[in-house]
Structure 1
Amino acid sequence: MSPISELFLFPPPPSPFVTAMSVISFTSLAYTGFSELRGKHLHYSKFWNANPNERRKEIKLSSRAGMLFLYSPALAAALASFAIPGDLLSSTRSLLLCAALSIHFFKRVFEVLFIHQYSGQMMLDSAIVISLSYFTATVTMIYTQYLTENTAEPVLDLKYAGVVLFLIGIIGNFYHHYLLSKLRGKDDKGYKIPRGGLFGVVICPHYLFEIIGFIGVTFISQTVYALSFTLGTILYLIGRSYATRKWYLSKFENFPRNVKALIPLIF
Protein backbone atom coordinates (compact mmCIF):
# COMPACT_ATOMS: atom_id res chain seq x y z
CA MET A 1 0.00 0.00 0.00
CA SER A 2 1.10 3.58 -0.63
CA PRO A 3 1.91 5.89 2.32
CA ILE A 4 -1.19 7.94 1.50
CA SER A 5 -3.58 4.97 1.64
CA GLU A 6 -2.01 3.85 4.91
CA LEU A 7 -3.31 7.09 6.45
CA PHE A 8 -6.92 5.95 6.23
CA LEU A 9 -6.99 2.23 5.32
CA PHE A 10 -6.03 -0.98 7.05
CA PRO A 11 -3.45 -3.02 5.13
CA PRO A 12 -5.18 -5.55 2.85
CA PRO A 13 -5.44 -8.87 4.71
CA PRO A 14 -3.46 -11.81 3.29
CA SER A 15 -6.64 -13.43 2.02
CA PRO A 16 -7.10 -14.46 -1.62
CA PHE A 17 -10.86 -14.53 -0.98
CA VAL A 18 -11.01 -10.90 0.16
CA THR A 19 -8.72 -9.80 -2.65
CA ALA A 20 -10.87 -11.57 -5.24
CA MET A 21 -14.09 -10.20 -3.75
CA SER A 22 -12.69 -6.66 -3.77
CA VAL A 23 -12.03 -6.93 -7.49
CA ILE A 24 -15.31 -8.73 -8.24
CA SER A 25 -17.48 -6.30 -6.26
CA PHE A 26 -15.99 -3.20 -7.84
CA THR A 27 -15.91 -4.60 -11.36
CA SER A 28 -19.42 -6.07 -11.35
CA LEU A 29 -21.02 -2.95 -9.87
CA ALA A 30 -19.11 -0.63 -12.19
CA TYR A 31 -20.09 -2.75 -15.20
CA THR A 32 -23.74 -2.75 -14.13
CA GLY A 33 -23.63 1.03 -13.82
CA PHE A 34 -22.14 1.30 -17.30
CA SER A 35 -24.89 -1.00 -18.58
CA GLU A 36 -27.50 1.32 -17.08
CA LEU A 37 -25.94 4.21 -19.00
CA ARG A 38 -26.26 2.16 -22.20
CA GLY A 39 -29.91 1.36 -21.52
CA LYS A 40 -29.49 -2.22 -20.29
CA HIS A 41 -31.28 -2.12 -16.94
CA LEU A 42 -31.70 -4.35 -13.95
CA HIS A 43 -35.42 -5.11 -14.10
CA TYR A 44 -36.99 -3.59 -11.02
CA SER A 45 -38.81 -0.37 -10.14
CA LYS A 46 -39.80 1.64 -13.24
CA PHE A 47 -37.49 -0.50 -15.42
CA TRP A 48 -39.08 -3.83 -14.53
CA ASN A 49 -40.70 -4.13 -17.96
CA ALA A 50 -37.80 -2.91 -20.10
CA ASN A 51 -37.68 -4.72 -23.45
CA PRO A 52 -40.89 -6.72 -22.71
CA ASN A 53 -40.79 -8.61 -26.03
CA GLU A 54 -37.51 -10.22 -25.00
CA ARG A 55 -38.68 -11.27 -21.53
CA ARG A 56 -42.02 -13.04 -21.96
CA LYS A 57 -40.78 -16.38 -20.64
CA GLU A 58 -38.91 -15.06 -17.59
CA ILE A 59 -40.23 -15.56 -14.07
CA LYS A 60 -41.73 -12.47 -12.46
CA LEU A 61 -42.16 -11.67 -8.77
CA SER A 62 -44.46 -9.15 -7.19
CA SER A 63 -42.50 -6.00 -6.35
CA ARG A 64 -43.01 -6.46 -2.61
CA ALA A 65 -41.86 -10.10 -2.65
CA GLY A 66 -38.93 -9.23 -4.91
CA MET A 67 -37.79 -6.38 -2.69
CA LEU A 68 -37.97 -8.57 0.41
CA PHE A 69 -35.88 -11.14 -1.42
CA LEU A 70 -33.29 -8.45 -2.18
CA TYR A 71 -32.67 -7.37 1.37
CA SER A 72 -33.64 -10.16 3.78
CA PRO A 73 -30.57 -12.40 3.30
CA ALA A 74 -28.20 -9.47 3.88
CA LEU A 75 -30.16 -8.42 6.97
CA ALA A 76 -30.01 -11.98 8.31
CA ALA A 77 -26.25 -12.09 7.73
CA ALA A 78 -25.69 -8.77 9.51
CA LEU A 79 -27.83 -9.77 12.49
CA ALA A 80 -26.22 -13.21 12.67
CA SER A 81 -22.83 -11.58 13.22
CA PHE A 82 -23.98 -10.58 16.72
CA ALA A 83 -24.76 -14.20 17.59
CA ILE A 84 -21.45 -15.74 16.49
CA PRO A 85 -19.34 -16.64 19.55
CA GLY A 86 -15.72 -15.57 19.80
CA ASP A 87 -13.97 -12.34 18.93
CA LEU A 88 -15.77 -11.49 15.67
CA LEU A 89 -17.09 -8.27 17.23
CA SER A 90 -14.36 -7.68 19.77
CA SER A 91 -13.63 -4.09 18.71
CA THR A 92 -15.74 -0.94 18.71
CA ARG A 93 -15.14 -0.60 14.96
CA SER A 94 -16.50 -4.09 14.26
CA LEU A 95 -19.55 -3.46 16.43
CA LEU A 96 -20.24 -0.17 14.65
CA LEU A 97 -19.87 -1.78 11.24
CA CYS A 98 -22.24 -4.65 11.99
CA ALA A 99 -24.71 -2.26 13.60
CA ALA A 100 -24.62 0.03 10.56
CA LEU A 101 -25.18 -2.86 8.15
CA SER A 102 -28.01 -4.22 10.31
CA ILE A 103 -29.69 -0.81 10.49
CA HIS A 104 -29.26 -0.26 6.76
CA PHE A 105 -30.95 -3.51 5.75
CA PHE A 106 -33.55 -3.36 8.52
CA LYS A 107 -34.57 0.04 7.16
CA ARG A 108 -34.80 -1.45 3.68
CA VAL A 109 -37.06 -4.29 4.86
CA PHE A 110 -39.17 -1.87 6.92
CA GLU A 111 -39.66 0.35 3.87
CA VAL A 112 -40.66 -2.64 1.74
CA LEU A 113 -43.32 -3.65 4.24
CA PHE A 114 -44.67 -0.27 5.34
CA ILE A 115 -43.47 2.61 3.13
CA HIS A 116 -43.09 1.78 -0.55
CA GLN A 117 -45.94 1.90 -3.03
CA TYR A 118 -45.75 -0.63 -5.87
CA SER A 119 -46.83 -0.43 -9.48
CA GLY A 120 -44.98 -3.22 -11.26
CA GLN A 121 -43.16 -6.47 -10.88
CA MET A 122 -39.57 -7.66 -10.65
CA MET A 123 -37.77 -10.16 -12.84
CA LEU A 124 -36.40 -13.10 -10.88
CA ASP A 125 -32.99 -12.97 -12.56
CA SER A 126 -32.47 -9.34 -11.50
CA ALA A 127 -33.67 -10.14 -7.99
CA ILE A 128 -31.16 -12.98 -7.65
CA VAL A 129 -28.26 -10.85 -8.86
CA ILE A 130 -29.03 -7.97 -6.51
CA SER A 131 -29.80 -10.17 -3.50
CA LEU A 132 -26.60 -12.14 -3.96
CA SER A 133 -24.61 -8.94 -4.31
CA TYR A 134 -25.97 -7.50 -1.04
CA PHE A 135 -25.53 -10.78 0.84
CA THR A 136 -21.97 -11.47 -0.29
CA ALA A 137 -20.98 -7.84 0.26
CA THR A 138 -22.32 -7.91 3.82
CA VAL A 139 -20.60 -11.19 4.71
CA THR A 140 -17.33 -10.16 3.08
CA MET A 141 -17.30 -6.75 4.73
CA ILE A 142 -17.81 -8.26 8.18
CA TYR A 143 -15.24 -10.99 7.56
CA THR A 144 -12.70 -8.50 6.25
CA GLN A 145 -13.20 -6.39 9.38
CA TYR A 146 -12.57 -9.46 11.50
CA LEU A 147 -9.25 -10.02 9.70
CA THR A 148 -8.10 -6.53 10.72
CA GLU A 149 -8.22 -7.42 14.41
CA ASN A 150 -4.78 -7.18 16.08
CA THR A 151 -3.34 -5.19 13.17
CA ALA A 152 -2.18 -1.59 13.28
CA GLU A 153 -4.98 0.96 13.00
CA PRO A 154 -4.87 3.53 10.19
CA VAL A 155 -3.23 6.80 11.11
CA LEU A 156 -6.52 8.67 10.72
CA ASP A 157 -9.39 7.19 12.73
CA LEU A 158 -12.52 7.89 10.66
CA LYS A 159 -15.02 5.59 12.34
CA TYR A 160 -16.92 8.27 14.27
CA ALA A 161 -17.01 10.58 11.24
CA GLY A 162 -18.35 7.51 9.42
CA VAL A 163 -21.15 7.12 11.96
CA VAL A 164 -22.20 10.75 11.33
CA LEU A 165 -22.17 10.28 7.55
CA PHE A 166 -24.02 6.98 7.84
CA LEU A 167 -26.79 8.58 9.92
CA ILE A 168 -27.09 11.52 7.50
CA GLY A 169 -27.29 9.08 4.61
CA ILE A 170 -29.85 6.75 6.12
CA ILE A 171 -32.12 9.56 7.37
CA GLY A 172 -31.96 11.41 4.04
CA ASN A 173 -32.59 8.23 2.10
CA PHE A 174 -35.57 7.29 4.27
CA TYR A 175 -37.07 10.79 4.03
CA HIS A 176 -36.96 10.83 0.23
CA HIS A 177 -38.34 7.30 0.02
CA TYR A 178 -41.19 8.53 2.22
CA LEU A 179 -41.82 11.45 -0.15
CA LEU A 180 -41.91 9.06 -3.09
CA SER A 181 -44.45 6.87 -1.30
CA LYS A 182 -46.78 9.85 -0.84
CA LEU A 183 -46.96 10.63 -4.57
CA ARG A 184 -49.68 8.05 -5.17
CA GLY A 185 -53.01 7.22 -3.66
CA LYS A 186 -53.79 3.70 -2.48
CA ASP A 187 -55.00 2.47 -5.87
CA ASP A 188 -52.87 4.77 -8.02
CA LYS A 189 -50.31 2.80 -10.05
CA GLY A 190 -48.99 5.62 -12.25
CA TYR A 191 -45.73 7.52 -11.91
CA LYS A 192 -45.57 11.23 -11.12
CA ILE A 193 -42.76 13.78 -10.99
CA PRO A 194 -41.47 13.75 -7.39
CA ARG A 195 -41.71 16.92 -5.31
CA GLY A 196 -40.27 18.12 -2.02
CA GLY A 197 -36.93 17.64 -0.33
CA LEU A 198 -34.08 17.65 -2.81
CA PHE A 199 -36.29 16.45 -5.66
CA GLY A 200 -36.35 20.03 -6.89
CA VAL A 201 -32.65 19.83 -7.78
CA VAL A 202 -31.99 16.12 -8.47
CA ILE A 203 -34.34 13.33 -9.50
CA CYS A 204 -32.56 10.72 -7.34
CA PRO A 205 -31.78 12.31 -3.95
CA HIS A 206 -32.44 8.91 -2.36
CA TYR A 207 -29.46 7.58 -4.33
CA LEU A 208 -27.35 10.58 -3.29
CA PHE A 209 -28.05 9.86 0.38
CA GLU A 210 -27.46 6.15 -0.17
CA ILE A 211 -24.00 7.03 -1.46
CA ILE A 212 -23.38 9.22 1.60
CA GLY A 213 -24.45 6.32 3.81
CA PHE A 214 -22.08 3.87 2.12
CA ILE A 215 -19.24 6.37 2.36
CA GLY A 216 -20.04 6.43 6.08
CA VAL A 217 -19.83 2.63 6.19
CA THR A 218 -16.44 2.82 4.46
CA PHE A 219 -15.21 5.35 7.01
CA ILE A 220 -16.37 3.06 9.81
CA SER A 221 -14.65 0.04 8.27
CA GLN A 222 -11.57 1.65 6.69
CA THR A 223 -10.83 -1.55 4.73
CA VAL A 224 -9.94 -1.92 1.08
CA TYR A 225 -12.98 -4.16 0.53
CA ALA A 226 -15.43 -1.62 1.93
CA LEU A 227 -13.83 1.06 -0.25
CA SER A 228 -14.02 -1.08 -3.39
CA PHE A 229 -17.68 -1.94 -2.76
CA THR A 230 -18.58 1.69 -2.12
CA LEU A 231 -16.77 2.94 -5.23
CA GLY A 232 -18.56 0.30 -7.30
CA THR A 233 -21.88 1.28 -5.73
CA ILE A 234 -21.26 4.93 -6.58
CA LEU A 235 -20.61 4.06 -10.22
CA TYR A 236 -23.71 1.88 -10.34
CA LEU A 237 -25.92 4.61 -8.86
CA ILE A 238 -24.47 7.17 -11.25
CA GLY A 239 -25.62 4.96 -14.12
CA ARG A 240 -28.97 4.21 -12.52
CA SER A 241 -29.70 7.87 -11.77
CA TYR A 242 -28.78 8.87 -15.33
CA ALA A 243 -31.18 6.25 -16.68
CA THR A 244 -33.88 7.41 -14.25
CA ARG A 245 -33.62 11.04 -15.36
CA LYS A 246 -33.70 9.94 -19.00
CA TRP A 247 -36.84 7.92 -18.28
CA TYR A 248 -38.60 10.89 -16.66
CA LEU A 249 -37.65 13.12 -19.60
CA SER A 250 -39.20 10.59 -21.98
CA LYS A 251 -42.42 10.21 -19.96
CA PHE A 252 -43.16 13.79 -18.88
CA GLU A 253 -43.06 16.74 -21.26
CA ASN A 254 -43.09 19.14 -18.32
CA PHE A 255 -40.15 17.54 -16.53
CA PRO A 256 -37.90 20.46 -15.43
CA ARG A 257 -34.64 20.36 -17.38
CA ASN A 258 -32.71 22.03 -14.56
CA VAL A 259 -33.27 18.99 -12.33
CA LYS A 260 -30.11 16.90 -12.48
CA ALA A 261 -29.77 13.15 -12.04
CA LEU A 262 -27.75 12.77 -8.84
CA ILE A 263 -25.51 15.72 -7.91
CA PRO A 264 -27.13 19.18 -7.62
CA LEU A 265 -26.07 21.60 -10.41
CA ILE A 266 -23.47 19.14 -11.75
CA PHE A 267 -24.84 15.75 -12.91
Structure 2
Amino acid sequence: MVIYLFILQSCFLHKYSGEMGLDTMIVILSSYFISSALVIFNQHLTMGLPEPPIDLTNPGILLFSIGIIGNFYHHYLLSKLRSQGPNKEYKIPKGGLFGFVICPHYLFEVLVFWGFAFISQTLFSFAYAMGTTFYLLGRSSATRKWYLSKFEKFPMNVKAMIPFLF
Protein backbone atom coordinates (compact mmCIF):
# COMPACT_ATOMS: atom_id res chain seq x y z
CA MET A 1 0.00 0.00 0.00
CA VAL A 2 2.76 2.43 0.99
CA ILE A 3 4.67 1.76 -2.19
CA TYR A 4 1.56 2.28 -4.35
CA LEU A 5 0.92 5.68 -2.75
CA PHE A 6 4.50 6.75 -3.47
CA ILE A 7 4.31 5.43 -7.04
CA LEU A 8 1.03 7.27 -7.72
CA GLN A 9 2.49 10.44 -6.24
CA SER A 10 5.62 10.03 -8.37
CA CYS A 11 3.60 9.51 -11.55
CA PHE A 12 1.13 12.35 -11.16
CA LEU A 13 2.63 14.97 -8.84
CA HIS A 14 6.42 15.01 -9.12
CA LYS A 15 8.08 17.25 -11.67
CA TYR A 16 11.68 16.32 -12.30
CA SER A 17 14.45 18.64 -13.42
CA GLY A 18 15.55 16.24 -16.16
CA GLU A 19 14.69 13.00 -17.83
CA MET A 20 15.26 9.77 -15.97
CA GLY A 21 17.23 7.08 -17.78
CA LEU A 22 15.74 3.63 -18.22
CA ASP A 23 18.56 2.05 -16.19
CA THR A 24 17.88 4.40 -13.27
CA MET A 25 14.15 3.73 -13.46
CA ILE A 26 14.72 -0.05 -13.46
CA VAL A 27 16.96 0.19 -10.37
CA ILE A 28 14.40 2.30 -8.49
CA LEU A 29 11.43 0.12 -9.43
CA SER A 30 13.40 -3.04 -8.61
CA SER A 31 14.32 -1.71 -5.18
CA TYR A 32 10.65 -0.90 -4.47
CA PHE A 33 9.58 -4.35 -5.66
CA ILE A 34 12.25 -6.20 -3.67
CA SER A 35 11.52 -4.15 -0.54
CA SER A 36 7.79 -4.84 -0.85
CA ALA A 37 8.40 -8.55 -1.38
CA LEU A 38 10.71 -8.72 1.64
CA VAL A 39 8.20 -6.91 3.86
CA ILE A 40 5.43 -9.31 2.81
CA PHE A 41 7.69 -12.33 3.26
CA ASN A 42 8.79 -11.11 6.67
CA GLN A 43 5.18 -10.62 7.76
CA HIS A 44 4.50 -14.20 6.61
CA LEU A 45 7.39 -15.47 8.75
CA THR A 46 5.94 -13.87 11.88
CA MET A 47 2.52 -15.51 11.52
CA GLY A 48 1.83 -17.73 14.52
CA LEU A 49 4.33 -15.95 16.76
CA PRO A 50 3.04 -14.30 19.93
CA GLU A 51 1.87 -10.70 19.61
CA PRO A 52 4.31 -8.03 20.85
CA PRO A 53 3.72 -7.01 24.48
CA ILE A 54 3.10 -3.39 23.48
CA ASP A 55 0.65 -2.68 20.66
CA LEU A 56 2.01 0.18 18.54
CA THR A 57 -0.69 -0.06 15.86
CA ASN A 58 -2.54 3.17 16.74
CA PRO A 59 0.60 5.34 17.06
CA GLY A 60 1.79 3.73 13.82
CA ILE A 61 -1.41 4.61 11.99
CA LEU A 62 -1.12 8.18 13.27
CA LEU A 63 2.55 8.48 12.19
CA PHE A 64 1.78 6.89 8.82
CA SER A 65 -1.15 9.25 8.21
CA ILE A 66 0.79 12.37 9.19
CA GLY A 67 3.70 11.21 7.06
CA ILE A 68 1.68 10.48 3.92
CA ILE A 69 -0.24 13.78 4.13
CA GLY A 70 2.89 15.84 4.89
CA ASN A 71 4.89 14.14 2.15
CA PHE A 72 2.15 14.74 -0.40
CA TYR A 73 1.70 18.38 0.62
CA HIS A 74 5.41 19.22 0.41
CA HIS A 75 5.76 17.44 -2.93
CA TYR A 76 2.80 19.50 -4.11
CA LEU A 77 4.63 22.69 -3.05
CA LEU A 78 7.76 21.50 -4.86
CA SER A 79 5.76 20.73 -8.01
CA LYS A 80 4.57 24.35 -8.08
CA LEU A 81 8.20 25.56 -8.25
CA ARG A 82 8.93 23.92 -11.59
CA SER A 83 8.16 26.19 -14.50
CA GLN A 84 6.78 24.80 -17.73
CA GLY A 85 9.07 24.76 -20.74
CA PRO A 86 12.84 24.68 -21.20
CA ASN A 87 13.65 27.15 -18.38
CA LYS A 88 15.40 25.22 -15.57
CA GLU A 89 15.53 28.00 -13.01
CA TYR A 90 16.01 26.76 -9.44
CA LYS A 91 14.23 28.46 -6.54
CA ILE A 92 14.28 28.18 -2.78
CA PRO A 93 11.06 26.39 -1.76
CA LYS A 94 8.62 28.24 0.49
CA GLY A 95 5.56 27.27 2.52
CA GLY A 96 4.87 24.34 4.81
CA LEU A 97 7.98 23.38 6.75
CA PHE A 98 10.37 24.73 4.10
CA GLY A 99 11.10 27.69 6.40
CA PHE A 100 12.62 25.23 8.88
CA VAL A 101 14.09 22.43 6.74
CA ILE A 102 15.06 22.16 3.09
CA CYS A 103 13.71 18.59 2.77
CA PRO A 104 10.46 18.32 4.74
CA HIS A 105 9.20 15.76 2.22
CA TYR A 106 12.04 13.47 3.40
CA LEU A 107 11.07 14.04 7.03
CA PHE A 108 7.49 13.01 6.29
CA GLU A 109 8.64 10.04 4.20
CA VAL A 110 10.63 8.85 7.21
CA LEU A 111 7.48 9.20 9.34
CA VAL A 112 5.64 6.99 6.85
CA PHE A 113 8.20 4.21 7.21
CA TRP A 114 8.35 4.50 11.01
CA GLY A 115 4.54 4.38 11.09
CA PHE A 116 4.66 1.24 8.98
CA ALA A 117 7.30 -0.22 11.33
CA PHE A 118 5.12 0.53 14.36
CA ILE A 119 2.12 -1.12 12.71
CA SER A 120 3.94 -4.30 11.63
CA GLN A 121 6.33 -4.50 14.60
CA THR A 122 8.86 -6.77 12.92
CA LEU A 123 12.62 -6.53 13.09
CA PHE A 124 12.80 -6.15 9.30
CA SER A 125 10.38 -3.21 9.23
CA PHE A 126 12.30 -1.42 11.99
CA ALA A 127 15.60 -2.07 10.18
CA TYR A 128 14.06 -0.79 6.94
CA ALA A 129 12.80 2.36 8.70
CA MET A 130 16.23 2.92 10.24
CA GLY A 131 17.97 2.44 6.88
CA THR A 132 15.53 4.82 5.19
CA THR A 133 16.10 7.39 7.95
CA PHE A 134 19.89 7.36 7.57
CA TYR A 135 19.70 7.36 3.77
CA LEU A 136 17.38 10.38 3.69
CA LEU A 137 19.42 12.20 6.35
CA GLY A 138 22.42 11.88 4.03
CA ARG A 139 20.45 13.01 0.97
CA SER A 140 18.97 15.98 2.82
CA SER A 141 22.41 17.02 4.05
CA ALA A 142 23.74 16.92 0.48
CA THR A 143 20.69 18.88 -0.73
CA ARG A 144 21.28 21.57 1.90
CA LYS A 145 24.94 21.86 0.85
CA TRP A 146 23.81 22.22 -2.77
CA TYR A 147 21.37 25.02 -1.85
CA LEU A 148 24.10 26.78 0.15
CA SER A 149 26.39 26.64 -2.89
CA LYS A 150 23.72 27.86 -5.36
CA PHE A 151 22.05 30.64 -3.38
CA GLU A 152 24.03 33.37 -1.65
CA LYS A 153 21.02 34.39 0.45
CA PHE A 154 20.04 30.91 1.56
CA PRO A 155 18.93 31.18 5.22
CA MET A 156 21.52 29.56 7.51
CA ASN A 157 18.89 28.64 10.13
CA VAL A 158 17.14 26.27 7.66
CA LYS A 159 18.26 22.75 8.57
CA ALA A 160 18.52 19.70 6.29
CA MET A 161 15.65 17.46 7.48
CA ILE A 162 14.83 17.77 11.19
CA PRO A 163 13.64 21.22 12.32
CA PHE A 164 16.07 23.00 14.69
CA LEU A 165 18.38 19.92 14.89
CA PHE A 166 19.72 18.62 11.57
Q: Normalising by structure 2, what TM-score?
A: 0.92
SS at match of 1:210: helix
Contact 2:144 2:160 in 1 (8 A): yes
Matched, 1:238 2:137: yes
Bigger Cα Rg: 1
Equivalences for residues 162-173 of structure 1 within 5 A: 162-173=60-71
- Computed over aligned residues only, the root mean square deviation of the Cα atoms, in angstroms, reads 1.5
Cα deviation code 1:28-73 (max 9, x no counterpart): xxxxxxxxxxxxxxxxxxxxxxxxxxxxxxxxxxxxxxxxxxxxxx
**Which of the residues 36, 55, 64 maps onto 1:138?**
36
Partner of 1:198: 97
SS at match of 2:20: strand
Partner of 1:216: 115
Gap regions ≥5 residues in structure 1: 1-101
Distance 1:228 1:257 in 2: 32
Equivalences for residues 1-267 of structure 1 within 5 A: 102=1, 104-187=2-85, 188-267=87-166
Cα deviation code 1:122-151 (max 9, x no counterpart): 344443333222211111111111121111
Following TM superposition, where does structure 1 have runs of at least 4 consecutive aligned residues deviating by more than 3 angstroms?
A: 123-129
1:254 Cα offset (Å): 1.3
Cα deviation code 1:11-41 (max 9, x no counterpart): xxxxxxxxxxxxxxxxxxxxxxxxxxxxxxx
Aligned identity (percent) is 58
The number of equivalent residue pairs is 165
1:258 Cα offset (Å): 0.8
Q: Which has the higher contact order (CA 8 A, sep 6+)?
A: 1
Contact 2:13 2:79 in 1 (8 A): yes
1:208 Cα offset (Å): 0.3
Contact 1:208 1:262 in 2 (8 A): yes
